[in-house]
Amino acid sequence: MERYTLGIGLVGLPGAGKSTVGRQLARRLKLPFVDADHRIEQLLGCSIRSFFEREGESAFRDVEASVIDELTRQSASVIATGGGAVLREANRRCLRERCQVVYLYSAPEDIFRRIQHDTQRPLLQVDDPMARLRELFEARDPLYRQTAHVVVEAGTLSAPAVVKRLLAQLRQGGGQGA
């Protein structure tokens, strides 16, 4: 397996599989895996959800930007970002310039099927979670595409199948796959 000198940053909607695929990809590439949301929670000493509710989105995005900057400066690793990390231009730039960025593309309907029973996701704790996923997709899909070097269709595939497809695309030098 080839060695990566740059890290690999995974972007995509919440529930697209960034953490699950990231762990498996890191194992295959023999690289460390870092979940940016877990790193943020370690720094904050509380859940993102409670910090978000207490301090607001802007304060959360400030912490997130600091963590993205830190993680993308470290030696090669696989980084699973939070679904909203691409909302800040500085994050998109750090990821794009310092990592090989992969957009795990999933349609809102595929994500909803995958996470509809997950009560830990604040995203779904709304009256119409499907409408919320569609809103997020409309707002974020262009930002994910702008940031990514590679787009991998992840919607209906298992995590091992996504990893296999992703590795094939990385070996071919990238390309836009979705």
Tell me whether residue 17 is annotated as binding: yes
Please check whether residue 99 is in contact with residue 8, taking contact to mean a CB–CB distance below 8 angstroms.
yes
The pair phi, psi for residue 117, each rounded to 5°, is: -100, 5
113 is in an annotated binding site: no
> Was 62 annotated as part of a binding site?
no
Q: How far apart are CA 159 and CA 61, in angstroms?
A: 28
Q: Which two tokens stand for residue 20?
A: 């699950």
Cα of 125 vs its chain's centroid, Å = 20
Q: Please indicate if the annotation marks 20 as binding a ligand.
A: yes
16 is an annotated ligand-binding site residue:
yes
Report whether 128 belongs to an annotated binding site.
no
Length of the chain: 178
- Give CA angle at 85 (66, 135), nearest 5°: 150
State yes or no: 140 annotated in a binding site: yes
Exposure of 79 by Cβ count < 10 A (0-12 exposed, 13-18 middle, 19+ buried)? buried
Question: Is 88 assigned to a binding site?
Answer: no
18 labeled part of a ligand binding site:
yes
Query: Binding site membership: which residues?
Result: 15-20, 37, 61, 83, 121, 140
Please enumerate, by residue number, every residue annotated as part of a binding site for ATP: 15-20, 121
Would you list which residues are annotated within the binding site for Mg(2+)?
Answer: 19
Cite the annotated binding site for substrate by residue number: 37, 61, 83, 140
